[in-house]
Every structure is written in C-alpha cells, then in structure tokens.
Structure 1
Amino acid sequence: MDKILVPIDGSPTSEHAAERAIDVAKKYNSSLTFLLIAKKPEIIGTGSGGTGTIFGSKEYIDELKEEQEKTMKHFIEKLDLEGIQHNQVVLLGEPYEEIIELAEKDNYDLIVMGRRGFSKITRFFLGSVSQRVLSGAPCPVLIIPEKAD
C-alpha cells in the first residue's frame, strides 16, 4: 500500500480520520495526500445597487481557494507527520466527484475519510460524501466514524 488519499474538511471527524490514516501510513510506509475540496459556488447575488455578482467569478474563486489553503495549513500543523511523506491538494468542485477522480487519476491504494454523524434518515434523503465515494471509488475506502468523547 504505497499511496493513501485522505479527504478532509477541517472537522474533528476528519482530524480523527487523518490520525487513523497516519497510523496506517506508519505501519505500511505509505505516503499520504491530504485533500481539501471546496464546493465551487455558482450563485448569482444582487448587490445594493441592483447589479448581479457571480460568486463563481475568478476573484471569488481565488479568494475561496486561498482560504481553503489556510484551512489546510492549520489542519496539517496539528498532525504528527514526522517521518511520513505527505503532500496537500486543494481543489474546487463537487467533493465526492473530485475525490473519486483524483483517486482514479493518481492510482491511490486506499482512501481514508471521516463519516459525518447524520442520522440514517438524513443520509437516505441527502446522501453523504463518504457514501458516494464508497460507491464509486476505484480502491478500498476506510470510513472512520466520529470520535466518541
């Protein structure tokens, strides 16, 4: 198991999943890729002057990506990555699609990700990123539940 993809969102659940991924990487001498995905906005808003602003504009997207890179940096600083080869990727798009696409494109051996604590009914109606990744991933997926405190 050479390459492990670790999608994160900055939540305590994704931090817990990252810790488990680190354990696996240490055991198998694997490299880790931490992936943070911001859903690309496609909203048109109206300013006070009545003119529309497309929040999917280049300026807004650049600002959003910069914020996500800061989130990633702060997230990574909390982890004990000593001796582990790792890199960071920040993307914009539909989270489950970007995870599956990157896993396929770069031939990852394992995806380790957290599962949000939605109720079964909410998951049925809304679906979840982890369930969609599990259904479409080209490699095994390890879903880590919320950490019990």
Structure 2
Amino acid sequence: MVKILVPIDFSPDSKDFVESGLRVLTEVDEINFVYVIPLGMKELEDFVDEDGIEYARKKAEEKMKDFIRDLNARARKITYTIMDGDPASVLIDLANGGEYDALLIGHRGYAYISDFFIGSVTLKLISKVRIPVIVVRKSKKAGEDVFEER
C-alpha cells in the first residue's frame, strides 16, 4: 500500500500540481493532504489568541473540503490534516514519522518571488525529509510539467 503526504497552501497552482503529480504516481492507495497554519514565529504569539487560531482552523478546513471535492484524484482513501506551527518543521516531522512512503509538493507556493526559485519550505523539505520527495514544477510551456525526485 502506497501512502503519500501532500502539503498544500491553497495557492492558485495547488490543484494543478497535485493533479499533475498524481498522473505520474498512478499506484497511490492513500493520500493525506495537509495544511499548516503558519504560526511558527515567536513574534506572533503575543498577537494571535486561541480564538484566532480556531477561526483559521475552521476556514482552512472549509477550504480543504472544497479543494478535495474539486480535485480529480483517485485513491482508495483521501484524508486531510490541519495543523499549526512553522510549516517546514511540521511537515518535516510528519514526513519523517514513518507513516508515509513519499511526499508530493509543488516547487513554490504563495510566498514566491519568481518562477525561477524553489520555495523555502520546499527547499527545506528536499534537504531534510528521509522519504522520497517528488517536486512538481510548472514549466514555461503551458500544460507541461517537470518532475524531480530526490
């Protein structure tokens, strides 16, 4: 049974990268989508209370349900997880926890500067995750994807 972890940030390209990656990963039995509410900065602790975190969690859950419903994905089981903290640290811990066979991620999300650069979270995952990391990168040609695996 092949189980993959798929972090998403609800950026405009999230659906495209997931569907592109799953076209190549045809033998996936279980997919766990994960969104990390980015609260990993100590500076935020004084400004974000439990009500704010709970509100963010509910909004993320609504977006996740819509995302999965609109996605063209085939797997025996599709689940999701909403967490909070530093996205890179949370995802590294999840991926290295022994539950997943691979991690599928887009090469950049909302916080990109240029299409040329790999996102900082993606870069940290590539370097610190012990399972295969499949990075889906949107190419310059419309509709063409480039896959990289560590």
TM-score normalised to the size of structure 2?
A: 0.77
Give, as a single letter, the amino acid of the residue that structure 1 aligns with 2:71: L
Give, as a single letter, the amino acid of the residue that structure 2 aligns with 1:6: V
Counterpart in the other structure of 2:83: 91
Query: Structure 1's 120 and 78: CA in aligned 2 closer, same or farther, altered over 3 A?
Result: closer
In structure 2, the gaps of 5 or more residues are 143-150
Give, as a single letter, the amino acid of the residue that structure 2 aligns with 1:132: K
Question: Alpha-carbon deviation of 1:22?
Answer: 3.0
Does the residue aligned with 2:13 lie in a helix, a strand or coil? helix
Counterpart in the other structure of 2:14: 14
In structure 1, the gaps of 5 or more residues are 45-53
Aligned counterpart in structure 2 of residue 133 of structure 1, from 103, 116, 125: 125
Percent identity for Structure 1 against Structure 2: 29
Question: Alpha-carbon deviation of 1:31?
Answer: 0.7
What is the number of residues matched between the two proteins?
A: 136
Counterpart in the other structure of 2:138: 146
8 Å Cα contact 1:16/1:114 also seen in 2: no
Does the residue aligned with 2:72 lie in a helix, a strand or coil? coil
What per-residue deviation string (whole Å, max 9, x for no partner) do you get for residues 23-54 of structure 1?
355x214210001111016437xxxxxxxxx4
Q: Does 1:78 align with 2:79?
A: no
What per-residue deviation string (whole Å, max 9, x for no partner) do you get for residues 89-138 of structure 1?
01111111111111122421110010125448866xxx611011000002
8 Å Cα contact 1:13/1:145 also seen in 2: no
The structure richer in helix per residue is 1
Does the residue aligned with 1:145 lie in a helix, a strand or coil? strand
**Greater displacement, 35-44 / 65-74:** 35-44
Please give the root-mean-square deviation of Cα atoms over the aligned residues, in Å: 2.5
Counterpart in the other structure of 1:38: 37
Structure 2 distance, partners of 1:70, 1:21, is 23
Does the residue aligned with 2:99 lie in a helix, a strand or coil? coil
Query: Structure 1's 98 and 105: CA in aligned 2 closer, same or farther, altered over 3 A?
Result: same
Query: Structure 1's 15 and 2: CA in aligned 2 closer, same or farther, altered over 3 A?
Result: same
Does the residue aligned with 1:107 lie in a helix, a strand or coil? coil
Please say which structure displays the higher CA radius of gyration: 1
